[in-house]
Amino acid sequence: MPMPRGCAECDRQTDEMGRRRLISRRSFLRTTVGATAATMVGLSSAALTTRMAFAATPSYDGDVLVVLSMRGGFDGLSAIVPLGDPAYSAARPTIAVPQSQALPTGDPFWGLHPDLAPLKPWWDAGTFGAVHAVGAPDPTRSHFAATAEMERAAPGSSLRTGWLDRTLGLRQSAGVFQGVALGDSLAPLSLAGPYDELAFGRIDDFELDGVWGDTPAQIKVEGDRWARALQTLHAGIPSLAGSADAVLGAISTTRSLKAASYTASNGAVYPHTVVNGTYATSDLSAALMDVARLIKAQVGLQVVCLDYDDWDMHADLGSVGQGRFHDRISEWAACIEAFLTDLGPTGMANLSMVTLSEFGRRVEENGDRGVDHGHGNVMMTFGGGAAGGQVHGSWPGLAPDKLDDGDLAGTTDYRDVLAEALTNRCRQPVADLPQVFPNRGTFGTVGAFTQKA
């Protein structure tokens, strides 16, 4: 059996250090406003965990693009299962999903992991799909290096900005909530760059710590007092004054959302989530509920980044109904199901969601009944414009002579999937793609997203 490749703990530490190094000067200034507020008036640390890109026009009529990063190296072979490839079960004698227990997809070659049952209605409806054997042009098995390169999405160039920062920079500004990252103490590298950004955590936690009050009215009075103080404090420094105004404007909006409270629609139940109260047990559930709140509030949301980690399963991945993958994927599916139910058909019509992971896992299970760092992987897609109910991409096969150094080969460039979402669903001009994804050359047709009417 192959030995595990890479050290998850070391890579996580390196990842955080690398993210901090790659924050641009303007992003730093945006963070400095929060840090100054924390020093001067006690801006809560939770208010520094989400980044938002400022700016543009209410005329945007493209989809809200949600990028959900499955950090740690998601095992796509366990989620969207190549049942028709005989090498799959042979390589995974104890952890393979049996054909008898996989959920049918309409194609006998493919099956869904049984824990994706809550999402099966969306698969059958054609609003949940997948692209398999997706890879990056320069594969690496380092969590940090793979994440950095994937979110930079500019191999062979000297650019250190992120692909989403470059995307938003090509658009007209649409207000403080144009681009959002939720659920992480640091924004993803995909948002690193010169485009203006702001950080905060959950909607219900975004407030200045110096603001007090027993009622929304009292909080507003106190908040207005702090706002005037901060604006006066930063008035002589244009860069900080603009940042302070943006932060305070965002707080004003979220304060209104909190005052209005929130009830999920269509009978949706977010797992273990308490609205306007204690923290949710599931961070993903809380983040997705906040995404739904922002979408429904029509605050100008265009791009959302979410993280869901702990997929680095070198040991005890488990089989159907037990093990680490079962625990993680069942929670993930329940959260996604609640989010899609809450949005309903109207919200889904203008949503494009795609999953990303820095790399896949090895085809062959190791001696600890897990799988080590690999290459090719799956990207899952959701939304009214997702060409769902099918698996896209060119399947290379899992026979030993078809593998890439023991890994699933990457036959579809992940940038092609993202480019298709941007152009087909988010109204991004095709002419912009070389600036968003430099050095890609000719973009391949994936078929994962339909053209928005």
In three-state form (DSSP H/G/I as H, E/B as E, the rest C), the secondary structure along 298-330 is CCCCCEEEEECCCCCCCCCCCCCCCCHHHHHHH
Residue 178, Cβ neighbours under 10 Å: how many?
Answer: 24
pLDDT by position in tens, the chain (length 453): 444 444 554 445 444 434 433 333 333 223 333 333 322 222 332 333 333 333 334 589 999 999 999 999 999 999 999 999 999 999 999 999 999 999 999 999 999 999 999 999 999 999 999 999 999 998 899 999 999 999 999 999 999 999 999 999 999 888 788 988 887 656 889 999 887 665 667 888 877 767 777 777 887 788 788 778 877 877 777 766 666 777 778 888 888 898 888 999 999 999 975 555 554 468 899 999 999 999 999 999 999 999 999 999 999 999 999 999 999 999 999 999 999 999 999 999 999 999 999 999 999 999 999 999 999 999 999 999 999 999 999 999 999 999 999 999 999 999 999 999 999 999 999 999 999 999 999 999 999 999 999
- Dihedral sign from CA coordinates of 124, 119, 121, 126: negative
Tokens matching residue 81 = 């299962």
Give dist(CA 325, CA 185) in Å, integer: 24
Domain boundaries, the chain: 8-436
Q: Nearest to residue 98, comparing CAs of 319, 246, 335, 258?
A: 319
Tokens matching residue 265 = 């629609």
Q: Global pTM?
A: 0.87
Chain CA centroid to CA 9, Å: 21
Tens of pLDDT along 328-383? 999 999 999 999 999 999 999 999 999 999 999 999 999 999 999 999 999 999 99
